[in-house]
Homo-oligomer: A and B are copies of this chain.
Amino acid sequence: MASASRTNQEYSALTIAATRIGFLILLLALWWLASINVARNIIPSPLATYHAAGRLFSEGRLQQGLLDSVTVYLSGYGIAILIAIPLGVAMGAFNLFGRTLEIYVYALSATPRVAFIPLIIVLLGLGIEAKVFIVMLGAVMPILINTYAGVRQADPELIEMARSVGAGRLRIFSRIVIPGAIPYVIVGLRLGATIGLINTVVAELYTAVSGLGGLLAIYGNTFRMAEYFVIVLCLAAIGVVVTESLRIIENRLGRWRD
């Protein structure tokens, strides 16, 4: 990949895996130290957490929670992508439209999702629709704002070239502007993935309680910190899986940089 790293080496996947594991070990050590130094069992030890994970897994609660949450999460995230990318492109494509809408987009994205929950309950109820909507509302913003910025950042020389061969607006967007905005969109998708996940938990806490968010509430309210940590780590792992899958798309679309 073309990158600033031309100023330094590109490392092999193996080296990177090794340093990541090294860092993981460091984190585990810090965690273990914290667990024995913070009073009143607020931080469970890694081992206790590991045992708790085993328990939750064998009870099947983890799997069920995961399944519920992932369903909500991926639906909301998917819908967010389907809305945000076309809307971001349209906002970039139609300058007046974009400039008009953008402050409302910023306004909306600065408003806590929690603030809309009463309204969402009235309109969408307590079920999966409401949850998916809350996830969507969170994930849509970074994707939209990044896509919009990427589209506005398009290379005017290439656009002029495309105009000169008679490409229409649609073709200019699909062939020049959007591919050029890909790096922005990918960052947006990354951020959307993480925020979507956070909102999954929010949705599961504030509408009908379910999934990993529900487990988080149970273990948090009953101070079962080892189980609580299992859920937190589980959420972090989902975040990593999704953001790392985006790397595949990113590498595929960025082949030309090699």
Task: Report A's interface with B, CB cutoff 8 A.
Answer: 1-11, 15-16, 19-20, 22-23, 27, 38, 42-43, 92-96, 99-101, 103-104, 106-115, 118-119, 122, 141-142, 145-146, 149, 151-154, 156, 159-160, 163, 169, 172-173, 177, 183-184, 186-187, 190-191, 193-195, 197-198, 201-202, 205, 213, 216, 220, 225, 228, 231-232, 235-240, 242-244
Contact = CB atoms under 8 A, between A and B. Distances in A.
A219 to B, nearest CB: 10
A9 B111 contact: no
Nearest first, the 3 closest Cβ-Cβ pairs linking A and B are A110-B239, A107-B236, A5-B95
One complex includes copies of this chain to the number of: 2
Nearest to A190: B145
B10 A95 contact: yes
A113 B154 contact: no
Q: Which of A9, A111, A118 has the most CB of B within 10 A?
A: A111
Contacts of A184: 149, 184, 187
